[in-house]
Chain A
Amino acid sequence: MYRFLLLGPAFLGWIAVTLQAGLRAGFLLLLGLGFGAALSASRFGFTTGWRNLIVRKDPWGMIGQMIMMAICAVLSFPLLANFGHEIAGAVAPITWGLVIGAVLFGFAMQLADGCGSGTLYKAGASSPTSWVVLPAFIAGSFVGASHQHAWESLGGPLQAIGLQQEAAPIDLITASGMPIALTLTLLGCAAVAAASYLYAKRSTTQTGHQIPAVPSRWVWGAVVIAVLYAIHLVVAGQPWGIVYGLGLWGAKFVTALGADLSADTFWGVAPHIERISEPVLWDVTSVTNIGLLYGALIANRWNTDAITRRSWPSATQLLISIFAGCLMGYSARLAYGCNVGAYLGGVASGSIHGWVWFAFAFLGSIGGVAARMKARIE
């Protein structure tokens, strides 16, 4: 009975958002609820998937992510190629900020035990650690966005070796056409999935173990999230994102306290300055984030195994989580997003920066897992 009562606020929230912010915002809230429910019910975690591969030699999380990427690309590329005047992809330049930000984000997400989407859905699903990480993430995102232009002025690695005159996006759909871009992206997903499986197979064979059976949650979670991603693209006209909304919440907070951001190189220009002065429910990313938080709570009450840790962490772990949250927020802005906005959004938009983000964030995660073990974080 208690679980069904949770549907009431979701319904009322949808009505309120639709009346106050319009049909599109209402649809986005529903999509956010869907994302949160799917992430929480399937425990579809980018952080856990990578850690499982690094520590337990379990490849299924990574393979699940690649299935999701591939479905997202199949659904998104035709929309991006044919309706570019209405639907834009997540396309960003290859900058030093992207490289450094991705490494730091990958490192911090292992310490915080949650990436962008993971922190949100775990906070929604009542994880006290994520309640602490979320405000730190918001603060980091706000400051990171403010510094983004300074990082961009450093240029990028392709510029440094003479392959680009200035750090610029590489959009496969524009550069090579939709069919070739889709083929290359699917091949990339297949290569990562195969490499993960072969690495796990070799590692487990050496230790006399076997690769665990495929948990179905990675498969159905990937399919549901990919379908929601494509619907979000149709409704919002832009890919699903998380970090922009969190930074915006920070900007709104400091503005409410009296700060003047009109001279800020990021928050002081369009469209961000308008977003600060408008209700939060009008912002695409914010309204999806709010839905995600509540969707995770609903799904969590149907699946009591979803969140294993419901007690407050130790003081040391709290401090580590706050540090990791700040670092994730800051680095996500340098790297043009988190695992959702940059990694999923970039790859599913045919932008090379998504693959660069993945490579360097995974590198950072290897360090993060080691640091996590040293700090004895459970």
Chain B
Amino acid sequence: MAEPRRALQTELLEQVLPLVLEIIPGQAGEGLIDLYEPGSYEGQLLRKLCEKTLGKKNWSIEEQQILEDIYRQLDGGRLLCRGREIQGTALDFALLEETGAGEKYLYVPIRAIKPQEGGLYPSKKTSR
């Protein structure tokens, strides 16, 4: 994966580019990668795109394993990006990237993750 770079929203909007959506399960190094052609994602909620990707059936064996990992994380977990829930369109979260051959595309990494921390007591109750 290329290093994520800064992207200006206006710059993204002006370009007709494919969108690469990657859903990463937990702390895995690689996620499930799906490609959306220009015209197929604009204006759509990112959440809906994720649902569409996760609903697809034509995955390879390796991809199916990643998909299972994603489902395991989503059992009680959430889809997050940039430290928050994925409310908004794909362009709200996209980064402008470039392939080795210099072709530009939009990239959205999404994290599928379970609650993580070491456990909490329900609330503070003190003596009176």
Instruction: Judge: A and B partners, yes or no.
Output: no
Interface residue ranges, A against B (CB under 8 Å):
none
